[in-house]
């Protein structure tokens, strides 16, 4: 495809209401989108476009310069992938209505065809964050690409855990790929771009409006062989991602949680509705039917290096404990407890979860992925 023709795909993508079905209709009627762009109002109507869409196209092309739009993408380091491109995501092509244009910063590879969505609430608990790290780390260590939405909470944990294991991860935006949202994830976005990709079907410059995020969840589900919901309330957008995955005939898993916890109600409801229960990385990985040796993943207590560390590990659990309570539980001065916690964090034995609270880390991942 010529650069000129690609520019018209991008131009139509800037016109509200022109999605997959209408693009297919225009290609069938005109042969290509360049010809569709030049078509008369009556010609567009004859192609089966409704009056509202026809008006939007006629109005849009009066001020849109297709080649300028494509040049702007190049200047920002953004590629515009279309259906006919060899590196257009294979999983998206399988959908009934794949997005005509996917904007990309970073790289996509054949290995990304083996991918899993890991999604959940923005208001993640310590339990949810640890479960996310456990599953995302195992996926990345096994050579599975982790897909999520770079939102606060579970999404960010999933991306970060994959990066820590030197794995690949894809972030799907509900805005333009040149608009980092939330802004505090700018560094995370740069890291993802370096070892994966940032993707969106929204044109560059599109702001992060609330209405944009529910539709982007179809891209997260569409890119992934399976979807794992780690933690979600009853109104969480992660449930919409799971719904899209089910509609696409893809497996849906959910991590069970407390029946008393608000942030677990969505997951528990998914399980009650037929989603598979995710209780261990090994079982989740088996659903991908990997034709490879999966790394050994085992649960064990980290080994303390001193009596103080032993006391602290005995007192800590997966539930957050404030340092003041911890000090009372182990019967040691706060300075000694604080110093030990700092060393234990460096060793990967404990993790702060905010508000001067800590949890013990009992999950150890070992082994390397091998084909």
Domains belonging to the chain, first-starting first, are 1-65 (1.10.150), 110-295 (3.40.50.450), 307-365 (1.10.10.10)
pLDDT at residue 370 in the model: 33
Q: Is the pLDDT of residue 222 over 70?
A: yes
pLDDT at residue 290 in the model: 53
The tokens 């505090």 sit on which residue? 184
**What are the Cα distances from residue 88, in Å, to 185, 206, 223, 304?**
26, 21, 11, 49
CA 126 from chain center: how many Å? Answer: 19
Q: Is the pLDDT of residue 364 over 70?
A: no
Comparing CA positions, the residue from 209, 201, 221 lying closest to residue 181 is 209
Summarised one tens digit per residue, pLDDT across range 48-64 is 999 999 999 999 999 99
Of all residues in the chain, the percent with pLDDT exceeding 90 is 71
The tokens 């539709």 sit on which residue? 215
pLDDT at residue 225 in the model: 93
Lowest mean pLDDT among 52-61, 183-192, 241-250, 292-301: 292-301
Q: Is the pLDDT of residue 40 over 70?
A: yes
Mean pLDDT of all residues in 295-322: 74
CB 221 within 8 A of CB 245: yes
pLDDT at residue 283 in the model: 78
The tokens 């690609």 sit on which residue? 6
The tokens 């996509």 sit on which residue? 108
Lowest mean pLDDT among 139-143, 230-234, 268-272, 286-290: 286-290
Q: Is the pLDDT of residue 314 over 90?
A: no
Distance CA 8, CA 33 (A): 6
Distance CA 160, CA 318 (A): 20
pLDDT at residue 366 in the model: 44
Comparing CA positions, the residue from 46, 33, 38, 157 lying closest to residue 83 is 33
Comparing CA positions, the residue from 125, 216, 105, 114 lying closest to residue 167 is 114
Of all residues in the chain, the percent with pLDDT exceeding 70 is 94
Q: Is the pLDDT of residue 300 over 70?
A: no
pTM of the model: 0.82
pLDDT at residue 137 in the model: 93
The overall average pLDDT reported for the chain is: 89
Summarised one tens digit per residue, pLDDT across range 92-144 is 999 989 999 999 999 999 999 999 999 999 999 989 999 999 999 999 999 99
């Amino acid at each position: 495809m010529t650069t000129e023709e690609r520019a018209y795909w991008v131009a139509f993508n800037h016109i509200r209401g022109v999605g997959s079905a209408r693009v297919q209709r225009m290609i069938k009627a005109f042969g290509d989108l360049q010809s569709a762009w030049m078509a008369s109002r009556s010609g567009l109507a004859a192609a089966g476009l409704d009056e509202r869409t026809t008006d939007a196209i006629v109005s849009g092309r009066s001020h849109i310069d297709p080649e300028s739009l494509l040049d702007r993408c190049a200047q920002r380091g953004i590629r515009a992938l279309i259906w006919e491109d060899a590196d257009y995501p294979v999983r998206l092509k399988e959908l009934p209505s794949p997005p005509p244009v996917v904007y990309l910063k970073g790289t996509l590879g054949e290995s990304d065809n083996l991918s899993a969505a890991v999604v959940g609430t923005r208001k993640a608990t310590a339990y949810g964050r640890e479960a996310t790290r456990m599953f995302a780390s195992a996926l990345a260590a096994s050579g599975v690409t982790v897909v999520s939405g770079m939102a606060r909470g579970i999404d960010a944990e999933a991306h970060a855990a994959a990066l820590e294991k030197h794995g690949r991860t894809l972030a799907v935006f509900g805005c333009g790929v040149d608009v980092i949202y939330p802004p505090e994830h700018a560094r995370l976005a740069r890291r993802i771009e370096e070892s994966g990709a940032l993707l969106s079907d929204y044109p560059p410059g599109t702001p992060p409006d609330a209405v944009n995020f529910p539709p982007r969840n179809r891209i997260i589900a569409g890119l992934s062989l399976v979807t794992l919901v780690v933690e979600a309330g009853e109104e969480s957008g992660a449930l919409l991602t799971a719904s899209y995955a089910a509609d696409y005939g893809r497996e849906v898993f959910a991590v069970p949680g407390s029946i008393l916890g608000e942030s677990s109600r969505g997951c528990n409801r998914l399980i009650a509705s037929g989603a598979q229960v995710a209780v261990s990385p090994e079982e989740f990985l088996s659903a991908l039917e990997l034709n490879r040796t999966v790394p050994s993943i085992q649960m064990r207590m980290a080994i303390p290096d001193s009596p103080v560390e032993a006391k602290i590990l005995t007192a800590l659990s997966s539930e957050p404990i404030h340092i003041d309570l911890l000090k009372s539980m182990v019967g040691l001065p706060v300075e000694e407890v604080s110093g030990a916690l700092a060393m234990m964090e460096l060793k990967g034995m404990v993790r702060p979860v905010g508000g001067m609270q800590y949890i013990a880390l009992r999950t150890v991942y070992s082994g390397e992925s091998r084909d």
